[in-house]
């Protein structure tokens, strides 16, 4: 599965792959594979990315176009 929103969010915040990888505690190569859909994101990784960017997991998965988190 490809996750286009995680790349767009990273680029919008002027972050490098290695910076996001460090937050996730994975290698830059692993993070690159997440962005390209080579490796599926785990639930834990999705939550960490959603928290990092302040968006919903549904937005990361492309299930909604609204990035807002419903609490």
**Tens digit of each residue's pLDDT (9 = 90 or more) over 17-38:** 999 999 999 999 999 999 999 9
Element of type H or E holding 43: helix 43-53
Cβ density class 51-64: b for 16+ within 10 Å, e for less? ebbebbbbbbeeee
Position 64 confidence tier, pLDDT thresholds 50, 70, 90? confident
Q: Supply 35's token pair.
A: 């962005």
Q: Is the pTM of this model over 0.75?
A: yes
Please report the pLDDT score of residue 24 as a whole number: 97
Domains of the chain, by residue range, sit at: 4-60
15: Cα within 13 Å, side-chain hemisphere: 20
Superfamily, domain 4-60: lambda repressor-like DNA-binding domains (1.10.260.40)
């Amino acid at each position: 599965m490809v996750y286009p929103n995680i790349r767009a969010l990273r680029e919008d915040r002027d972050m490098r792959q290695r910076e996001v990888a460090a937050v996730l505690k994975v290698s830059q190569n692993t993070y690159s594979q997440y962005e390209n859909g080579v490796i599926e994101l785990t639930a834990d990784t999705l939550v960490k990315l959603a928290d990092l960017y302040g968006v919903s997991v549904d937005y990361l998965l492309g299930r909604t176009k609204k990035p807002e988190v419903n609490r």
